[in-house]
Amino acid sequence: MQTVGHFINGNMIVEDNQTQPIYDPSTGEVTKHVSLGGAKTIDEAVAAAKAAFPAWRKTPPMKRARVMFKFKELLEQNADEICRLVGEEHGKISHDAAGELQRGIENVEYACGAPELLKGEHSRNVGTDIDSWSEFHPLGVVAGITPFNFPVMVPLWMFPMAIVCGNTFVLKPSERDPSATLFIAKLLQQAGLPDGVLNVVNGGKPAVDAILHHPDIKAVSFVGSTPIAEYIYTTAAAQGKRCQALGGAKNHAIVMPDADLDNVVTSLLGAAFGSSGERCMALSVAVVVGDETADKMIAALQPAIHELKFGVHSNKNNDFGPVITEAHKSKILGYIKSAADQGASLVIDGSNAAPEGYENGFFVGPTLIDNVTKQMSSYQEEIFGPVLQVMRVQTMEEAIELINDHEYGNGTCIYTRDGESARYFVDNIQVGMVGVNIPLPVPVASQSFGGWKRSLFGDLAMYGPDGVRFFTRRKTITQRWPSAILREEKQFAMPT
């Protein structure tokens, strides 16, 4: 059976002293193993990245961008293979994997603008014959740690931008579905990236801790669950590293009485159940204003949910696939049971779902729960599964207060036909990414992605303009040439 290794200094390295199984979540079978690197592996990857840095730092941004142009082409040419690898280890249906890849490619396209993005800022004659300008310098060796749910897109949020900014990179992908990530790293080598500029080390906590404590790593970009994000942020910051750590979510949609209910139902299906709800921007709670609206919405949702198809990733007719592991499936079932035990109404229960022929897969069917309240653990915590919960409120203000009180603040949406309500919502909601009749308001690559509250630790969001800032540091130069120096008196006051 194949053991998935690391990619260091342009070479695949398999260490089989410590490994972990990789499952096909559709069948529940072990299909591969993955090497689990530790401090020694991270040392090797950092040494390779450190050695590659001086030459890469000096490579003109246009030449760095050319590598990314070629990389984009290779990602497109190899799309089927990438989606297959994602499907086999994550379980994502190929159309969903293709969407993930496309959003990742958009970040590569944005990174191709490196010469423009790194232009700096210039002020002429800030004093007599004095010019001043800011330059954006790379940090050195930087690292990324990524989650299982987007094994292609989230790494592409990070390393293309870091690399075009002149940094060298050590990536630690999720040990649960590492093959697609490794595959795209090798494509970047094929696109002409010098060895050592991008290195991939697989592993779990020991590899992450080695990154956090390595003196040669200058910055850490993390995406994953909130408890780990907080740990990464506090540990990296204590080590003097720059850090951005994106965490979990509970994304609410407010459904106003004037909303277009057909649109609400259609778009909620994809936003709640797409990718089995394993998206940090999944809409997992519908907060409905007024009982009449809630009753109508539930009546329309029920038949639509019964029609959803879920099953193996290779069947394009399926709407969504399995969840990532047996343990995660049990956790989701626990939340469904706890909601019912705590008094919610289980309208559709997907707990005992098993598509024919895939009885051992990690499947949870689409689940709809009504009359959910604030105190329930299924509401307070992130479920990360195909479960849509409905809460009933009487006013929009009540809905806004509910959302603002939640510990997470990643994404949210309002469904309404009323501009005044939409504007009030946008203005008063304590959430980082906001949609108006848009259920998954994931910012495009030229914006930046980041939540508020405990969905993001750090000052800068991911990719876009914030990505450039995160992966560079500013140097400001103030210059006067000797020929222009006026003979001055000694001056001890602050120069003006």
Place of tokens 């626990």: 334
Residue 172 or 241 having the CB closest to ligand NAD: 172
Residue 249 or 312 having the CB closest to ligand NAD: 249
Which window, 80-88, 100-108, 240-248, 476-484, contacts ligand NAD (CB under 6 A)?
240-248
Residues near 356 by beta carbon (within 8 Å), at least 6 away in sequence: none
User: What is the Cα–Cα distance from 70 to 148, expressed in whole angstroms?
Assistant: 26
Residue 53 or 384 having the CB closest to ligand NAD: 384
The helix (H) or strand (E) run that includes residue 51 is helix 39-58
Residue 195 or 230 having the CB closest to ligand NAD: 230
Residue 386 or 451 having the CB closest to ligand NAD: 451
User: What is the Cα–Cα distance from 283 to 268, expressed in whole angstroms?
Assistant: 7
Helix orientation angle between 61-77 and 179-190, rounded to the nearest 10 degrees: 130
462-465: which pairs have CB atoms within 8 A and are 24 or more residues apart? Answer: 462/157, 462/158, 462/221, 462/223, 462/244, 462/246, 463/107, 463/110, 463/157, 463/158, 463/161, 464/110
CA distances from 375 to 251, 255, 284, 406, 418 (A): 17, 21, 16, 11, 31
Backbone angles phi, psi at 395, to 5 degrees: -140, 160
| Residues in region 392-431 near ligand NAD by CB under 6 A | 410
181 near ligand NAD (CB under 6 A): no
In the complex, least distance from residue 55 CB atom to ligand NAD, rounded to whole angstroms: 29
User: What is the Cα–Cα distance from 138 to 117, expressed in whole angstroms?
Assistant: 13
| Residues in region 303-342 near ligand NAD by CB under 6 A | none
CA distances from 302 to 28, 268, 386, 488 (A): 29, 12, 14, 82
Residues near 491 by beta carbon (within 8 Å), at least 6 away in sequence: none
In the complex, least distance from residue 128 CB atom to ligand NAD, rounded to whole angstroms: 49
Residue 424 falls in which region: left (phi positive, over 0), alpha (psi -120 to 50) or beta? alpha
> Which one from 83, 112, 165, 280 is the annotated catalytic residue?
280
Which window, 76-84, 102-110, 245-253, 475-483, contacts ligand NAD (CB under 6 A)?
245-253
355 near ligand NAD (CB under 6 A): no
In the complex, least distance from residue 226 CB atom to ligand NAD, rounded to whole angstroms: 6
Of positions 108, 249, 348, 396, contacts ligand NAD by CB under 6 A: 249
Q: Compute how many other C-beta atoms are within 10 angstroms of the C-beta atom of residue 72.
A: 21
204 near ligand NAD (CB under 6 A): yes
Which window, 1-9, 202-210, 425-433, 476-484, contacts ligand NAD (CB under 6 A)?
202-210
Of positions 88, 175, 370, 466, contacts ligand NAD by CB under 6 A: 175
Of positions 68, 86, 208, 305, contacts ligand NAD by CB under 6 A: 208
455 near ligand NAD (CB under 6 A): yes
In the complex, least distance from residue 485 CB atom to ligand NAD, rounded to whole angstroms: 52
Active site residue 165: no
- The catalytic site residues sit at 280
Contact set with ligand NAD (CB under 6 A) = 145-150, 154, 172, 174-175, 204-205, 208, 223-225, 228, 246-249, 280, 382, 384, 410, 451, 455
